[in-house]
Amino acid sequence: QTDEAETETFSVPSYACQRRTTLENHNTVLTDALSLLAENAELSEEEGRGVAFRRAAAVLKCLPKVVMDMTQLRGLPCLGEHSLSVIKDVLENGASSEVEATKNSERYKALKILTGIFGVGAKTADRWFRDGIQTLHQLRDSGQTLNRAQQAGLDHYDDINQSVTKAEADIISEIVEKAVVAVLPGAQITLTGGFRRGKLTGHDVDFLITHPEEGREEGLMSKVVSWLETQGFLLYQKTTRNSYLEAKDGPARPASNMDRFERCLSIFRLSKEKKRGAELTETLTENLKTPPSCSSSHVQQGGDREEGGKPWRAVRVDLVVSPISQFGFALLGWTGSKLFERELRRWAGREKSMSLSSHALFHNKQSRYLRATTEEEIFSYLGLEYVKPSERNA
């Protein structure tokens, strides 16, 4: 007859990497509210608050049922006073006044718009906001100097802010695969990020590239990028070189989520025509024509070429090259989610005295690296049950 007897309570371990979080979320109203506050904290560079809201949202994401009542939350980890008051507000009033106020604030709206520009982070957006810039128009008129990334981000703003579908990711996979195999036969590409976790849309497409023979991956990125550029697939690219040296940099720095792989941040020019497989080569030539004449024989009846619009769209693509010896760590590190990654590193450090990065796992007390080639081995070193990619959606 007590509350406990009437309402179902849940039991959840406290690290996200100890839990299985699929894309099936029974509490989207609550998790959207908390995620918005997390985002707002991140935009204000209040990282601690951001993580607290992200952790709270992640706990609710893995619950097997809709939360109806505050009593069901008893004993759950990561729900601080602030998160609980937001949840209470939503359950009682259908919405959180804090979330609504944030959503409607000039500052949040402006920072959202400005950080929507590729190459613009919270710091820059905040500086512009304090200079009175709240819209893209105002930014364009302001005479602010933009770097090359930001200029490309502004040029392709609408495309980049439209989410990428799995179908588009698959087409880009084919293109990247073709590029990689053309410049280095035997090299392998893997789709990582949200799409590897089974998401149907994403803000970009992430790839990890390697070669089964150690060392053969050296110099690969610049060749892949040249191939893609020659074929007209790149609207923008910036490559950063691999700067990881185990002897010099190790042990993996646990506090940082930046890795040192050779990485290419790019914007692809994706043809909207549905061209697959063997037809791809024809599309390549088509891609180089600017501007394309509209009565191309490649236009399919009922094809998705927009009326009067351009026949292509800009898509953010990230390429990362890893030596095979680090591939397991790179794959684990680039599959996400961001919170899942953060929690893995926190678990490793706090519970196991180990330092995990996208390059390596270091045993602090034994002062040695733990070698692994698969994600399964890494979970096992960490004393965690294996969590497959589709269950890492924390």
For the annotated binding site for Mg(2+), the residues are 204, 206, 318
Q: For ligand DCP, what does the binding mask look like between residues 238 and 267, x meaning CB under 6 A?
A: -------------------xxx--------
In sequence order, what are the beta bridge partners of 164? 202
- The 3-state secondary structure of the chain reads CCHHHHCCCCCCCCCHHHCCECCCCCCHHHHHHHHHHHHHHHHCCCHHHHHHHHHHHHHHHCCCCCCCCHHHHCCCCCCCHHHHHHHHHHHHHCCCHHHHHHHHCHHHHHHHHHHCCCCCCHHHHHHHHHCCCCCHHHHHHHCCCCCHHHHHHHHCHHHHCCCEEHHHHHHHHHHHHHHHHHHCCCCEEEECHHHHCCCCEECCEEEEEECCCCCCCCCHHHHHHHHHHHCCCEEEEEEECCCCCHHHHCCCCCCCCCCCCEEEEEEEEEECCCCCHHHHHHHHHHHHCCCCCCCCCCCCCCCCCCCCCCCEEEEEEEEEECCHHHHHHHHHHHHCCHHHHHHHHHHHHHHHCEEECCCCEEECCCCEECCCCCHHHHHHHCCCCCCCHHHECC
Our answer to whether residue 158 is catalytic in this structure is no
| Min CB(202)–ligand DCP separation in Å | 3
Structure tokens that stand for 8 in this block: 């179902």
Q: Decide: is 203 part of the binding site for ligand DCP (CB under 6 A).
A: yes
Residue 201's CB: how many other CB atoms inside 10 A? 13
Say how far apart CA 239 and CA 184 lie, in whole Å.
Answer: 18
Using the minimum distance from each CB to ligand DCP, give the nearer residue, 193 or 251: 193
For ligand DCP, the binding residue among 39, 42, 204, 217 (CB under 6 A) is: 204
168 binds, among Mg ion, ligand DCP, none (CB under 5 to 8 A by kind): none
One of 89, 155, 249, 318 is an active-site residue; which one? 318
One of 126, 159, 206, 259 is an active-site residue; which one? 206
| Min CB(232)–Mg ion separation in Å | 24
Q: List the binding residues.
A: 204, 206, 318
Say how far apart CA 394 and CA 56 lie, in whole Å.
Answer: 10
For ligand DCP, the binding residue among 42, 159, 206, 273 (CB under 6 A) is: 206
Using the minimum distance from each CB to ligand DCP, give the nearer residue, 144 or 349: 349
Interacting stretch for ligand DCP, rule CB under 6 A, among 73-81, 152-160, 193-201, 295-303?
A: 193-201
Our answer to whether residue 249 is catalytic in this structure is no
Q: Decide: is 199 part of the binding site for ligand DCP (CB under 6 A).
A: yes
Site for ligand DCP in 285-314 (CB under 6 A): none
| Min CB(161)–ligand DCP separation in Å | 12
Q: Decide: is 389 part of the binding site for ligand DCP (CB under 6 A).
A: no
Our answer to whether residue 206 is catalytic in this structure is yes
| Min CB(373)–ligand DCP separation in Å | 19
Q: Decide: is 204 part of the binding site for Mg ion (CB under 5 A).
A: yes
Interacting stretch for Mg ion, rule CB under 5 A, among 82-90, 99-107, 186-194, 223-231?
A: 186-194
Q: Which residue's Cβ lies closest to Mg ion?
A: 193
Say how far apart CA 149 and CA 205 lie, in whole Å.
Answer: 17
For Mg ion, the binding residue among 50, 119, 153, 202 (CB under 5 A) is: 202
In sequence order, what are the beta bridge partners of 321? 209, 262
Interacting stretch for ligand DCP, rule CB under 6 A, among 78-86, 111-119, 295-303, 337-345?
A: 337-345
Using the minimum distance from each CB to ligand DCP, give the nearer residue, 9 or 257: 257
Q: Decide: is 292 part of the binding site for Mg ion (CB under 5 A).
A: no
Q: Would you say how long the chain is, in residues? A: 394
| Min CB(203)–Mg ion separation in Å | 6
One of 204, 249, 259, 304 is an active-site residue; which one? 204
Catalytic residues, which ones? 204, 206, 318
Residues near ligand DCP, by CB under 6 A: 193-194, 199, 202-204, 206, 257-259, 333-334, 336-338, 341, 358
